[in-house]
């Protein structure tokens, strides 16, 4: 039999346990939950950006976020739509292609432009897209299906079609870079700022980004309408660029699903805004991120938690450039 003192202690402990259980059941203990963040493979800009954001979410918002590398965006988007990963990073073209078959998919916002290029060996005589005529070009992208129309669009800026080159079938950009390094392809397509680009540059003794002809960009946009041109010049992340040039650009976006609570999505954007400097330290391509940049018109529904975040900052979605 308990003494009166022991009985009071027991009742106090039960009350504390019940209170803690109520907090846990109400979802107030968000930090205890683990959130999956689907990205592409290590070495891609996608993975670098996702890792930087995940780190800040843990440090600034107390969200336990685990990065989940996948074979490509065609794989990770369905994972996010089904709720098997709470967040993901994909280019907007992949999201556009997937939205009809992924009804639960929602946008959080744009992270940064993806500025891509075709690289060749620096000691080659190729300098423009037109110089790829007859060369071995990575195509197919079975795990990144919307990359293929991008490749054809970029070829169009040089007045070329896939009939003018020798296709080398590949599943993703990592394999394309590896085929180039091994000598089975004459070029590779990747995003500026990705670690893999620097790795290839060091491995083959130098690479050069091919110039495109903006006069042919109208033809390229007929193939892939979600891209635009941006001006760049020599700089730390622009490997293989030795003079100002225009490059093919499209946006990398962060996605979620209707299954993720509004407050979690809101916390994600709030943490990214507050932790931008820390993110950029790891992922320099994120330097252009801001709430105003993130809220753009893509014809894809935004998550309510994101809409609340943007409305509180008096922002409206901007059209593409």
Specify the CATH number for the domain of residue 225.
Answer: 3.40.190.10
Q: Which residues are bridge partners to 228 per DSSP? A: 249
10 within some domain: no
Same domain, 81 and 131: no
Same domain, 173 and 219: yes
Same domain, 209 and 276: no
How many Å is the maximal CA-CA distance in the chain? Answer: 93
Residue 321: pLDDT band (50, 70, 90) is low
pLDDT for 19: 42
Same domain, 153 and 201: yes
Same domain, 295 and 186: no
Predicted model pTM = 0.74
Which domain covers residue 87, as residue numbers? 32-114+251-312
d(CA 208, CA 121): 6
pLDDT for 14: 42
Is the pLDDT assigned to residue 207 strictly greater than 50?
yes
Is the pLDDT assigned to residue 13 strictly greater than 60?
no
d(CA 185, CA 173): 12
Is the pLDDT assigned to residue 32 strictly greater than 70?
no
221 within some domain: yes
Query: Which of 5-9, 129-133, 279-283 has the least mean pLDDT?
Result: 5-9
Q: Return the top range by mean pLDDT from 18-32, 67-81, 260-274.
A: 260-274
pLDDT for 145: 80
Same domain, 76 and 160: no
Task: Quote the mean pLDDT of the chain.
Answer: 89
Domain count, the chain: 2
272 within some domain: yes
């Amino acid at each position: 039999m308990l003494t009166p003192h022991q009985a009071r202690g027991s009742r106090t402990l039960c009350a504390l346990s019940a209170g803690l259980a109520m907090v846990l059941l109400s979802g107030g203990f968000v930090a205890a939950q683990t959130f999956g963040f689907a990205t592409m493979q290590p070495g891609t800009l996608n993975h670098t950006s996702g890792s930087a954001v995940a780190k800040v979410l843990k440090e600034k918002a107390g969200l336990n976020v685990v990065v989940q590398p996948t074979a490509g965006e065609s794989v990770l988007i369905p994972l996010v739509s089904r709720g098997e990963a709470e967040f993901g990073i994909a280019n907007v073209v992949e999201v556009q292609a997937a939205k009809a078959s992924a009804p639960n998919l929602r946008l959080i916002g744009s992270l940064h432009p993806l500025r891509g290029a075709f690289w060749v060996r620096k000691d080659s005589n190729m300098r423009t897209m037109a110089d790829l005529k007859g060369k071995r070009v990575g195509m197919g992208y079975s795990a990144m299906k919307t990359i293929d129309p991008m490749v054809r669009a970029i070829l169009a800026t040089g007045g070329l079609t896939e009939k003018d080159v020798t296709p080398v079938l590949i599943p993703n950009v990592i394999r394309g870079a590896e085929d180039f390094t091994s000598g089975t392809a004459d070029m590779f397509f990747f995003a500026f700022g990705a670690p893999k680009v620097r790795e290839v540059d060091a491995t083959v003794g130098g690479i050069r980004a091919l110039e495109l002809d903006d006069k042919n960009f109208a033809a390229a946009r007929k193939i892939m309408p979600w891209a635009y041109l941006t001006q760049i010049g020599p700089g730390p992340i622009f490997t293989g660029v030795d003079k100002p040039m225009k490059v093919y650009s499209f946006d990398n976006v962060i996605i979620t699903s209707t299954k993720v609570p509004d407050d979690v999505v809101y916390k994600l954007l709030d943490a990214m805004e507050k932790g931008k400097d820390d993110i950029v330290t790891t992922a320099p391509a994120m330097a252009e991120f801001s709430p105003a940049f993130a809220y753009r018109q893509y014809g894809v529904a935004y998550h309510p938690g994101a809409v609340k975040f943007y409305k509180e900052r008096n922002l409206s979605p901007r059209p593409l450039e």
